[in-house]
A and B are shown apart, each in its own frame.
Chain A
Amino acid sequence: MKNFLKYREIWLLAGIVVLIGLISIRFPGFADPANLRQVFNDTSILMILALGQMVVILTRSIDLSMASNLCFTGMVVAMLNAAHPAIPIPALIVIALAVGLVLGAINGFLVWRLNIPSIVVTLGTLTIYRGATFVVSGGAWVNADQMSPDFINFQRAAFLGLPVLSWIALLVIAVFFLVMTRTQIGRSIYAIGVNPTASVYAGINVGRTKFIVFCISGMIGGLAGYLWISRYVIASVEVANGYELNIIAACVIGGISIAGGIGSVGGAVLGALFLGIISNALPVINISPFWQMAISGSAIILAVVLNARGERRQGRIILRKAEAA
C-alpha cells in the first residue's frame, strides 16, 4: 500500500509542477522561489485544516463543523484580545486550541456515545457553532483597530526567512506525519478506517478513537481560528462561511478516500497546495474567480476518477499475486 500511495502522491506532485509551469507561461514571476514561499504561506491555514479533516475522514467519518469551529474560536480569541490586550499571544493560541478541543469533543462525544453518524452530528454543530458565534459577539465585528499589534503581527514575523505562519504549518505537518506513522493512535486510525470490525477484535476501541479524531480536528479548527482572524484581521459571524467544503476538497484531491482508511499526510498537504496555487494564480493571470470554482471542481472529480482507477489496478495485482502465492 505504501508504494501505491507514493505513486498517487507523486502524480499529484507532478500535476502541481505542471500547473506551476503552465501558469509561468502567462506570468513568468510565478515560479519564483519568493512567490512560491508566498503561495505556501497563503495556503498554510488550508493545509492545517486539511490535516485535521484527514484524520476524521480516515476513520470513515467527516467533520463538517470545522469552518464554524474556526469562526467561533476566532471570534472568542479576537474578543479576548480586544478586551485584554495584555494576554500574550502564546496563551491565546493555547486558549484557541482549548476552545477548539471543547467543540471537537462535543462532536466526538455525540458520535461515540450516542452513536449518531458524524455527518449528521457535524451538520448540526456546523449551524450551532456559527450561531454561537453570533450569540457571543451579539452580531458585532471585531475590527483590526480593536486588535493588539502583537495579535496581528505574530504570524507575520519572519523567522529564518519564512513567516511564523509557514513555520506553524510545517510544525503541524511534522507532528501529523509522526502521529500517523509512528504512534499507536495513528495506526489505530488507519486500522479502524480499513476494517472497523477486525479492529474491535484486535482490541482497538473504535468509539474512543473516533472521539479522539474529532478532538484533533476540533483543536486544529481552533488553531486555524486564531490564524485566520489574525491574518485577515476581521472577526465576524461570516468568517470562513462554506470553507468546510474547501477543506474536504483538499483532502479528496490529496487522495484521501472518503470511504476511509486510505490517505496520507503528504496527500492532504499536496491537495491543499493544489487548491492554494489555483486560487493564487488565477487572479494574477486574469482569470475570473468563477473559473477557480470550476477548476477545483474538475480537480476533485479527476482525483476521484484517478483514485478509483488506482484501486482497480490494485485489484488486478491481487489476482496476479494470489496466483504466485
Chain B
Amino acid sequence: MILVDFKLMWRDNVPPHLQTDLSGPDTDMDTTAQHKVEAERPEPSGPAHNTSPRLTLSGISKSFPGVRALHRVSLSLYPGQVTALIGENGAGKSTLVKIMTGIYQPDTGEIGIDGQATTLPSAHAAFGHGITAIHQETVLFDDLSVAENIFLGHAPRTRFGTIDWRTMRNNAREVLETMRAGHIDADARLRDLGIANKHLVAVARAMSIDARIVIMDEPTAALSMKEIEELFLLIEFLKSEGKAVLFISHKFDEIYRIADRYTVFRDGEMVGEGLLKDATQNEIVRMMVGRNVDHIFPQREPKIGAPVLSVSGLSHPTEFDDIGFELRKGEILGFYGLVGAGRSEVMQAIAGITRTSRGTISLDGKAIAPRSAAESIEAGIVYVPEERGKQGVVIGLPIFQNVSLPSLARTSKSGVLGLAEEFALARSYTERLDLRASSLSQDVGTLSGGNQQKVVIAKWLATAPKVIILDEPTKGIDIGSKAAVHGFMAELVAQGLSVIMVSSELPEILGMSDRVVVMREGRIAATYENKGLDAETLVRTAAGIAA
C-alpha cells in the first residue's frame, strides 16, 4: 500500500478531500500531459496488458565502423509498467539507451511516441519528449546544490528573468517530499550525498521535468540492499505516476522483483520479449546466452593448509574496528556485507594503501606493517581493486607495461628497466590466461572489457603473490566472463594461493567461498563455514536482523 502513500504525499498540497481523486490534474505538472497519462494509466492493481505503448522502437539498426551494435531490434514501453532490458555485456543495451536519449541516431528503424512516428535528433529533443535516463554513474553536477540539480535548465524565474531561488528551493523540497526523500537537504551540495541519495535526486529531476519515460541503466550496481529497497519503492512510485520505465540490470532477483515485462537482447538482436510472469528465470537466461547455463560455479575439492595471513585487532579511526580473521593456504575466504560495511577499506589497509591505527597483520607467521602498496606487494599480498577502469588498467600503456607495472622492481636492475624480462613476464602470464590480443605492445585500451580484466589479473599474478585479494571481481561483467573468473579463482587456490574475495553477490559468495566473513558497520559480525550456509543467514547477519 506504499503506492497509495506516495500518491497521497504527492498531493499533500491539495486539500485532503481531493486527495483520493487520483485523476485530478496536479498544479505542478503540465496538465495536458498529465491528462493523457491518467487516461492511459492501467488499473493500479497490476499491469494492464492491453494498453497502447508509450514508446515503440521498431526495426532499429545501428552500426559503427566494423561493429554491428544493433540489428533490427524492437522495444515497447508501456505507461505504468516496468520493462526490464536483459542481455549480456555487449548485447547492445547501452547503444539502445543512447538512441532513446537522442545521443545516437539509428541507421534504420522507427521511433513512435504515443503512436506517432517521431525522431530524436538530439538529447534536447528526447528531453522534450519527456525521456530521461538515470545512469550507472549518475550524470549530475557534483558542485551544484540538490535544488539546482533538480531544476537545471528549467529553473523557475522571477519576473526579471533571474532565477527565483526561493521558489526553486521550495519546489525542490516538495518534489523530494513526495518521493519520501525529505531527508535530503535541497541546499546540500550533491558532492556530499551518497550514491543512493544521488539517485533520488536524479529521480526527483525526472519528476520535475514531468518525464514520461524513465530509463534506469543499472541503477542498483553501486547500492546496498537497503538502498536498493528504497530505489524499488521509487520505481513503484514512478509506476503509480503512470511513467513508462525501462530497467536495465544484470540481477535476476531485481528484475523479477520490480519489472512487469522483459525484452532480451543478444549480440545486438532482440531474441525475446513478453510478460515476466509467463517466463521462468531459466528461460530468460537461455535466451540471453543462447544456451543453458547449468552450474556457473566450478566444483572444487579444497585442500586447505596452514594459516597464511592472520589479522587481529585491526582498527581505523573512522572506518573499521577490531578486525580479526585468518586466511589459510588454498582457501577462498568470502567477505560479505552491505555496501559501505567497510570491507574494501579493511582490504585497502591490508594492502598498505590506507593506514591503520591499531592491530597486527602477519604473513606466514611474520608480522608485517605495510606502509605502501609497494611494500605489501613485496611481502606477497596483492589487492585487485573494484573499479577496473579507474584503478586497474592503465589505458594508454601497452599490455606488457600494464602487466609489469607492479613487478618493475623485479624486472629492473637498479632502476634500469629490463625490457626483455618484462616481455617474458607478460607473455607467460597472459598466455596462461588465454588473452586475445594481436601483440603485447598493443594499447590495453583497445582490448574488450573481458580481456582488460585478464590483463589486470595477469598483472597481479605476475607479482607472484601468496595472498590475492579480489574486490568485487565479477561486478558488471557478463555471465560468460564471470564463469571464466570463477574458474580461474578455483585454479589459483588449487595451486596453493590464498584468496580473499569481497563480493556483494550472494550466489558468488555461496558458490565460491570456503568460509564467509560477514561485516557490518565496520566490524566483523560473524564468520561462517560455508557448509549448508544459506543466503538468508548471511543477509540477516549483514543487516543486523536477529534470526
Chains A and B form a bound pair: yes
Which residues of A does B touch, CB under 8 Å? 1-2, 4, 181-188, 190-191, 194-195, 197-205, 261-262, 314, 316-325
Q: Are B393 and A195 in contact (CB under 8 A)?
A: yes
Any chain A CB within 8 A of the CB of B64? yes
Among A182, A197, A261, A323, which residue has its beta carbon within 8 angstroms of that of B390?
Answer: A197
Q: Are B409 and A205 in contact (CB under 8 A)?
A: no
Identify which of A187, A317, A321 gathers the most chain B CB atoms within 10 Å of its CB. A321
Query: How long is the Cα–Cα vector from A191 to B373 in the complex, in angstroms?
Result: 15
How far, in Å, is A113 (CB) from chain B's closest CB? 15
Known: A1-B397, A321-B442. 4 other contacts (CB 8 A): A184-B408, A191-B401, A201-B351, A325-B437
Q: Are B397 and A184 in contact (CB under 8 A)?
A: no
* A-contacting 9-mer, from B111-119, B444-452, B491-499: B444-452
Q: Are B397 and A191 in contact (CB under 8 A)?
A: yes
Among B405, B417, B443, B451, which residue has its beta carbon within 8 angstroms of that of A202?
Answer: B405
Query: How long is the Cα–Cα vector from A320 to B351 in the complex, in angstroms?
Result: 37
* Smallest Cβ-Cβ distance to A262: which chain B residue: B396
Q: Are B412 and A184 in contact (CB under 8 A)?
A: yes
Any chain A CB within 8 A of the CB of B372? yes
How far, in Å, is A159 (CB) from chain B's closest CB? 28
Identify which of A186, A205, A324 gathers the most chain B CB atoms within 10 Å of its CB. A324
Please name the 3 residue pairs, one residue from A and one from B, whose CB atoms are nearest each other, closest first.
A203-B374, A320-B66, A194-B396
Which residues of B does A touch, CB under 8 Å? 64-67, 351, 353, 372-378, 383, 385, 387, 390-398, 401, 405-406, 408-409, 412, 415-417, 419, 436-437, 441-443, 445-448, 451, 459
Among A2, A184, A204, A316, which residue has its beta carbon within 8 angstroms of that of B398?
Answer: A2
Q: Are A325 and B394 in contact (CB under 8 A)?
A: no
Q: Are A1 and B396 in contact (CB under 8 A)?
A: yes
Q: Are B65 and A322 in contact (CB under 8 A)?
A: no
Q: Which residues of A contact B419 (CB under 8 A)?
A: 182
**Also in contact, A323 and B66, with CB within 8 A (given A184-B408, A191-B394, A194-B394):** yes
Q: Are A198 and B391 in contact (CB under 8 A)?
A: yes
Q: Which residues of B contact A202 (CB under 8 A)?
A: 373, 377, 394, 405-406, 459
Q: Are A201 and B451 in contact (CB under 8 A)?
A: no
Q: Are B446 and A317 in contact (CB under 8 A)?
A: yes
Q: Are B374 and A184 in contact (CB under 8 A)?
A: no
Q: Are B417 and A183 in contact (CB under 8 A)?
A: yes
Among A203, A261, A324, which residue has its beta carbon within 8 angstroms of that of B373?
Answer: A203
Q: Are A201 and B397 in contact (CB under 8 A)?
A: no
* Smallest Cβ-Cβ distance to B408: which chain A residue: A184
Q: Are B67 and A201 in contact (CB under 8 A)?
A: no
Q: Are A198 and B401 in contact (CB under 8 A)?
A: no
How far, in Å, is A265 (CB) from chain B's closest CB? 15
- The contact sample of 21 A-B pairs, CB cut-off 8 A, is A1-B396, A183-B416, A183-B417, A184-B409, A186-B417, A187-B408, A194-B396, A195-B393, A195-B396, A197-B387, A197-B390, A198-B390, A199-B405, A200-B353, A202-B373, A202-B377, A202-B459, A203-B376, A203-B377, A319-B64, A320-B66
Q: Are A195 and B67 in contact (CB under 8 A)?
A: no
Q: Are A183 and B415 in contact (CB under 8 A)?
A: yes
Q: Which residues of A contact B445 (CB under 8 A)?
A: 314, 318
Q: Are A187 and B405 in contact (CB under 8 A)?
A: yes
Q: Which residues of B contact A320 (CB under 8 A)?
A: 65-67
Q: Which residues of B contact A205 (CB under 8 A)?
A: 372, 374
Q: Are B65 and A319 in contact (CB under 8 A)?
A: yes
* Smallest Cβ-Cβ distance to A317: which chain B residue: B446
Q: Are B447 and A325 in contact (CB under 8 A)?
A: yes
* Smallest Cβ-Cβ distance to B404: which chain A residue: A187
Q: Are B391 and A197 in contact (CB under 8 A)?
A: yes
How far, in Å, is B481 (CB) from chain A's closest CB? 12
Query: How long is the Cα–Cα vector from A317 to B445 in the complex, in angstroms?
Result: 10
Among A181, A185, A191, which residue has its beta carbon within 8 angstroms of that of B415?
Answer: A185
How far, in Å, is B220 (CB) from chain A's closest CB? 24
How far, in Å, is A256 (CB) from chain B's closest CB? 13
Q: Determine chain B's interface SS by DSSP, over half rule.
A: mixed
* Smallest Cβ-Cβ distance to B406: which chain A residue: A202
Among A2, A181, A190, A325, which residue has its beta carbon within 8 angstroms of that of B451?
Answer: A325
Query: How long is the Cα–Cα vector from A244 to B376 in the complex, in angstroms?
Result: 41
Query: How long is the Cα–Cα vector from A320 to B447 in the complex, in angstroms?
Result: 10
Among A2, A204, A324, which residue has its beta carbon within 8 angstroms of that of B441?
Answer: A2
Q: Are B451 and A199 in contact (CB under 8 A)?
A: no
* Smallest Cβ-Cβ distance to A322: which chain B residue: B448
Q: Which residues of B contact A191 (CB under 8 A)?
A: 394, 397, 401, 405
Query: How long is the Cα–Cα vector from A317 to B353 in the complex, in angstroms?
Result: 35
How far, in Å, is A86 (CB) from chain B's closest CB? 37
Q: Which residues of A contact B409 (CB under 8 A)?
A: 184
Q: Are A1 and B406 in contact (CB under 8 A)?
A: no
Q: Are B374 and A201 in contact (CB under 8 A)?
A: no
How far, in Å, is A319 (CB) from chain B's closest CB? 5
Q: Are A184 and B405 in contact (CB under 8 A)?
A: no
Q: Are A204 and B396 in contact (CB under 8 A)?
A: no
Q: Are A195 and B451 in contact (CB under 8 A)?
A: no
**Also in contact, A322 and B393, with CB within 8 A (given A182-B416, A200-B373, A203-B377):** no
How far, in Å, is A314 (CB) from chain B's closest CB? 8
Q: Are B66 and A325 in contact (CB under 8 A)?
A: no
* Smallest Cβ-Cβ distance to B385: which chain A residue: A201
How far, in Å, is B240 (CB) from chain A's closest CB? 41
Q: Which residues of A contact B416 (CB under 8 A)?
A: 182-184
Q: Which residues of A contact B459 (CB under 8 A)?
A: 202
How far, in Å, is B3 (CB) from chain A's closest CB? 43
How far, in Å, is B67 (CB) from chain A's closest CB? 4
How far, in Å, is B86 (CB) from chain A's closest CB? 22
How far, in Å, is A183 (CB) from chain B's closest CB? 5
Identify which of A184, A191, A198, A324 gathers the most chain B CB atoms within 10 Å of its CB. A198
Q: Which residues of A contact B65 (CB under 8 A)?
A: 316, 319-320
Q: Which residues of A contact B408 (CB under 8 A)?
A: 184, 187-188
Query: How long is the Cα–Cα vector from A2 to B442 in the complex, in angstroms?
Result: 9
Query: How long is the Cα–Cα vector from A262 to B396 in the complex, in angstroms?
Result: 8
Q: Which residues of B contact A188 (CB under 8 A)?
A: 408
Q: Are A182 and B417 in contact (CB under 8 A)?
A: yes
Among A194, A314, A317, A318, which residue has its beta carbon within 8 angstroms of that of B397?
Answer: A194
Q: Which residues of A contact B378 (CB under 8 A)?
A: 203
Q: Which residues of A contact B397 (CB under 8 A)?
A: 1, 190-191, 194
Query: How long is the Cα–Cα vector from A308 to B443 in the complex, in angstroms?
Result: 18
Q: Which residues of A contact B442 (CB under 8 A)?
A: 321
Query: How long is the Cα–Cα vector from A105 to B25 in the complex, in angstroms?
Result: 68
Query: How long is the Cα–Cα vector from A205 to B371 in the complex, in angstroms?
Result: 11
Query: How long is the Cα–Cα vector from A205 to B373 in the complex, in angstroms?
Result: 8
Q: Which residues of A contact B67 (CB under 8 A)?
A: 319-320, 322-323
Q: Are B374 and A204 in contact (CB under 8 A)?
A: yes
Q: Which residues of B contact A194 (CB under 8 A)?
A: 394-397
Q: Which residues of A contact B353 (CB under 8 A)?
A: 200-201
* Smallest Cβ-Cβ distance to B435: which chain A residue: A325
Q: Are A199 and B394 in contact (CB under 8 A)?
A: yes
Query: How long is the Cα–Cα vector from A200 to B385 in the complex, in angstroms?
Result: 11
Q: Are B390 and A195 in contact (CB under 8 A)?
A: yes
Among A182, A201, A317, A319, which residue has its beta carbon within 8 angstroms of that of B392?
Answer: A201
Q: Are A201 and B412 in contact (CB under 8 A)?
A: no
* Smallest Cβ-Cβ distance to B90: which chain A residue: A322
Query: How long is the Cα–Cα vector from A78 to B437 in the complex, in angstroms?
Result: 57
Query: How long is the Cα–Cα vector from A159 to B378 in the complex, in angstroms?
Result: 48
Query: How long is the Cα–Cα vector from A197 to B386 in the complex, in angstroms?
Result: 12
Q: Which residues of B contact A186 (CB under 8 A)?
A: 417
